[in-house]
Chain A
Amino acid sequence: MALAPAIRTIEALQERPALARLLAWKPAAVEAAVLDREELTLILERSGLREACAILEADPATRFDFLSDLTCVDRYPGEPRFEVVYHLLSLPRKERVRLKVRVPGDDPNLESVTSVWPAANYFEREVFDLFGVRFAGHPYLRRLLMPEDWQGHPLRKDYPVEGYR
């Protein structure tokens, strides 16, 4: 089974409910859209993230009521360095979508989505702990898996696998 080529333009994908809804809200909010391996990825602009999430969560046409996963990818030494990745699931419509926000390495700050999905609480704490991305508006942004006095963020690509000696 050969892989179908990925679709990488917003125009070709604007029928998709999640993308259509966000374009109707603010066309500038979506920087790019990719359909690869039957998974839709929307790359969002950083400042509009929380509002976009609130719309996708509440609108009956999208209704992404469940946050499956939230994590981060470090593209070091590329810039913008971090990609924060949200996997949303719509229970009534049985559909998934992936949201991505690019965050620069010298200013790793982002809005928290805990007010939209309380489930984001632990996931954002984990991303803060292991990548050092800060979430503004998070109710309790402290280290989760590593000890409180740990130096550095282990899942960053410039952090050695065996740790600093």
Chain B
Amino acid sequence: MAHLTPTPVLEAGQDRTMILNMGPQHPSTHGVLRLILEIDGENVVRMMPDIGYLHTGIEKTCEAKFYQQVVPLTDRIDYLCPLTNNLCYVLAVEKLLGLEIPPRAQWMRVLLNELTRINSHLVWLGTHAMDIGALSVFLYCFREREDVLRLFEMVSGQRMMTSYFRVGGLALEPPLGFFERVKQFADRFPEKVDEYEDLLTGNRIWLNRTQGVGKLSREDAIALGATGPTARASGVDWDLRRDLPYSSYEKFQFQVPVSQDGDVFARYILRVQELRESNQIVQQALAGMPEGPVKAAAPKVVLPDREKMKTQMEALIYHFKIVTEGFPVPEGEVYQAIESPRGEMGYYVVSDGTAKPYRVHMRSPSYANLQALAKMCEGRLIADVVAAIGSIDIVLGEIDR
């Protein structure tokens, strides 16, 4: 593998190449990614990403927290899809505990996860188009993203760091009028996607900047651990929602778009199709939303309702115990993976039988997808690097953790 050749310590000037530093404050690097490029004229000979500028030691912090206190930390890994991270973590802990989640909570989780996917893809589309020079798309995308964030605020009180999923269900029953608001959004969203496509899909400049750029073959995508739209654009027909379903995704009908082209344009088209599919899933979740409780019947794990806490001694005791000493989780280990907007998000949680996790490891999709970046860029122009970075949709918070 060319990208695995030793001595990637890039030293300039042996012959005709030079080193160009890109980032970590470059506007197109989506945060604090630093790329060290070895260039020959305008061609990239070698590339080495340098990461770690946002490393905050979240995995270490998790080991000092109770299981329920880790949920807000998971928001902060990926600030574009907090609910996806919440879901992956709580699913892992619920699997360790052997908890059964009521159907209404599961469907709410699906609904909110698809809204998160729409939110994340909208930010991606806006910033990716802006990187390449189509500035106005950003404004259109953020218009709809604002609507999604208002829905999150309505349901959890927060626009971005939602922490709405809890071990055992949801934090709260969704408020009155929430489903109507989601319905209004989902009904008008497809025509908004048409608007974005009007701006980009047939645009000559857009096509020239994206078609045939940042190629990644199917073999390389699998070998380098790429997942999500980045891998599906290279012909890897794999979506965890369909192939290893979780949280009752098996009850939903949706298409998994796959493309064989493996270039930046294919990734763009795929994500736009996913916007439409996610909207379909939201519609299905709204139509079939079951009635019933949103929390599991596990008093030692799930906080009691305020009403019960003020009238029943037992509920008060459980509340006090969960808040002050957490809940013990049986010994064991679990790897739970879900399909985040960027690919396979996995949580590996090890329990030693106490109320604090022994080890939490996050397998973040951007981290693995970033390894494929060098493959996409080497041998291409510097200007294409910007298009390729945007097309793998990286979030540095998730890479550095």
Contacts and interface: CB of A to CB of B under 8 A. Distances in A.
A50 interface: no
A96 B243 CA distance: 12
A36 interface: yes
Nearest to A119: B225
Judged by DSSP, the binding face of B is: mixed
Given A69-B361, A122-B371, A155-B60, A146 B52 contact: yes
Contacts of A85: 348
Main secondary structure of the interface of A (DSSP, over half): loop
Interface in A1-41: 1-3, 6, 36-37, 39, 41
A6 B96 CA distance: 12
Contacts of A67: 225
Nearest to A147: B52
A37 B95 contact: yes
B238 interface: yes
Contacts of B323: none
Interface in B339-364: 344, 346, 348, 350, 358-359, 361, 363
B367 A122 contact: yes
Interface string A32-68: 0000110101000000000000000000000001111
User: What range describes how many residues of B lie at the interface?
Assistant: 35 or more
B194 interface: no
Interface string A77-105: 00000000101000100101010000000
A145 B363 contact: no
B135 interface: no
A114 B4 CA distance: 9
Contact of A68 (B96, B100, B346, B358): B346
Contacts of A139: 4-6, 8
A73 B359 contact: yes
Contact of A119 (B8, B223, B348): B223
A154 interface: yes
Interface string A122-153: 10000000100000000110011111000000
B335 A69 contact: yes
A39 B348 contact: no
Interface string B220-233: 00111100000000
Interface of B: 1, 3-6, 8, 51-52, 55, 57, 59-61, 63-64, 95-96, 98-100, 222-225, 236, 238, 243-244, 330, 332-335, 337, 344, 346, 348, 350, 358-359, 361, 363, 367-368, 370-371, 400-401
11 contacts: A3-B330, A36-B332, A37-B98, A41-B333, A68-B335, A118-B1, A121-B4, A122-B368, A122-B371, A144-B51, A145-B55
